[in-house]
Each structure stands twice: as structure tokens, then as C-alpha cells.
Amino acid sequence: MLEQLAGAGRGLMALVAALAAALPASGGAAPATSGGAAAKPVVSAPRATSAATALGGVVHGQATHYGPAGHGGNCSFPTIPPSRYTVAAGPSLYAAGAACGGYLQITGPRGTIVAKIDNQCPECGPGHLDLSDEAFAAISPLAAGLVKVTYRPVTNPRVSGGLTFVVKSGSSRYWLGLLVDNAGNRLRSVEVASGSTWRALTRTDYGYWLAQSGAGSGPFTVRVTDVAGHRAVTRGVRLAPGATQTTATRLYR
């Protein structure tokens, strides 16, 4: 009889354990986020919003600085804003090149600036901006190294001059790479016509737009549309690889 009772007790305990395992645990650690540790220092700051919100609302984050503003960033732009206020964006904000040429209003301890996104900061997590020295010095002493900031996208920022085009080195009538600079807003599409047929180009993550099978020998008519819905058409863009071609065409006034 004692052995039967013991066996029944063990069975009841096993049943209780099984039911406990099947129930969802309350509380516990939150799921780990994707991505590795950032190489840049991190301060305690409010959690940054998602990439979608980062392109459409106010973000609370942090900023560092990388050096003087210059050419040759990930976006490949040949020009620098007269203010020399530029931003290297983390991967979520950079969005595989979609952020290139957009502007952010950035507020730090010392004040507020408007800066152009012209580069990528691969090690920057969501909410982390890496600024040119000139931009950082306008919102905080350079010696601070890292500060809390808020930022938001700017629509129709003031830009100096019209659209600028660069045909990528190696381009020919059979393959075309085209860079559009000084647009002010982020771009939604770039199209090229050599004759009467429009050809949509494909965005790259380094600023250029490509026609893999080429668009003829030019000169081209280029139609540019930005994310705010502005559209502009420029005629006479030459197949002149490496040359910076400035125009008076603007997407907005």
C-alpha cells in the first residue's frame, strides 16, 4: 500500500511540473535586439525610436563627432554645405542610401543646427549620429565627445544653388551611374530619357542611381522626384564620366 501511495505521489508531482512548464512565464528579460555592440561610447539616454520614426518624427538620441567635413562620404556627394554641417547616419537611419541628401534639425546643449546626411556610420546604433566637427561644435564643445541630442527630419531646407549631377566613372552608352546632389530632400526616384522613353534608375547604397543596361549616349533628360512630392526635369546632362555638372534646376523654391 505504501509503495502504491508513493507511486501516486510521484505521478501527481510530475503532472504538476508538466502543467507549470506549459504555462507562459510572467515578466522576465525582454528579447534581445539585433545588431552587435557599437564601437562608439554610449551614454544613458531615452530609448531611440525605430528607423521609420527616425525619418518622420522627433528622436531622442546622442551624437559624437568624426572630424572636419569633407568629400568622399558614403553618399559620394561632390559638394559640402556652406555651413559644413554634415551627418554620418547609423544603418537604420541611413536605410541603404535612402537618407542620402536629406537634412536633420539637431538640437544639443549649445543650440540647434540643420545638417546634411552625407555619410554612413556603420557602428552607430539607432538614435546615434556622428557629426562633422563643425556641426558638433555648433551644438556642444568639441571636448565633450558625446552628448545627448534630439533631432528630426527637415522638409524643404534652404540649399545653395540648383541640382548637381555626376556621371560615374566607367559609364558608357551601355551602363550608366548617375549621382544627384543638392536636392535638399531625400529622393524617391530618378529617371532618365535619351529620346522620348523614360527609364527608371535603381538606387544604390553609395548615392548613385544605376541603369544596368545603359541609357544611350546622351545628352540626357533627367527627372528627379523627392519624398515630399516635388518633381523637376533637367535637360542636357552629358555622358561625361567624372565631371560635376551644375544646373539652375531646383525641386522647390
Complete DSSP assignment for 206-220: TSEEEETT---SS-E
**Which triple of cell numbers denotes residue 85?**
554641417
Total-model pTM: 0.78
Closest CA to 249 of 238, 236, 240: 236
- According to the model, what pLDDT value does residue 84 have? 97
Q: Is the peptide bond before 219 cis (omega within 30 degrees of 0)?
A: yes
- According to the model, what pLDDT value does residue 46 have? 33
pLDDT digits (tens, 9 = 90+) for 14-54: 433 433 333 333 333 333 333 333 334 333 333 333 333 44
Enter the DSSP assignment of 74: T
- According to the model, what pLDDT value does residue 195 have? 76
pLDDT digits (tens, 9 = 90+) for 54-107: 456 899 999 999 999 998 899 999 999 999 999 999 999 999 999 999 999 999
Compute the CA torsion angle 33, 37, 41, 45 (nearest 10 deg): 10
Quick check: 13 pLDDT over 80?
A: no
CATH of domain 51-154: 2.40.40.10
Q: Where are the domains of the chain?
A: 51-154, 164-246
- According to the model, what pLDDT value does residue 56 have? 60
155/166 Cα distance (integer angstroms): 24
Compute the CA torsion angle 189, 156, 116, 98 (nearest 10 deg): -20
Enter the DSSP assignment of 75: T
Quick check: 251 pLDDT over 50?
A: yes
Quick check: 216 pLDDT over 50?
A: yes
Quick check: 201 pLDDT over 50?
A: yes
221/212 Cα distance (integer angstroms): 17
* DSSP, residue by residue, 31-63: PPPSS---SS-----PPPPPHHHHTTS-EEEEE
**95: helix, strand or coil:** helix
Contacts of 113 (CB under 8 A, 6+ apart): 83, 85, 105, 106, 135, 138, 139
Phi-psi label, residue 99: left if phi above 0, alpha if psi -120 to 50, beta otherwise: alpha
The DSSP bridge pattern shows strands 164-167 and 176-181 to be antiparallel
CATH of domain 164-246: 2.60.40.760
- According to the model, what pLDDT value does residue 73 have? 92
Let me know: does 120 contact 146? Beta carbons within 8 Å: no
61/44 Cα distance (integer angstroms): 10
- According to the model, what pLDDT value does residue 245 have? 98
- Give me Rg for the CA atoms of the chain: 26
pLDDT digits (tens, 9 = 90+) for 147-179: 999 999 999 999 999 999 999 999 999 999 999
pLDDT digits (tens, 9 = 90+) for 97-134: 999 999 999 999 999 999 999 999 999 999 999 999 99
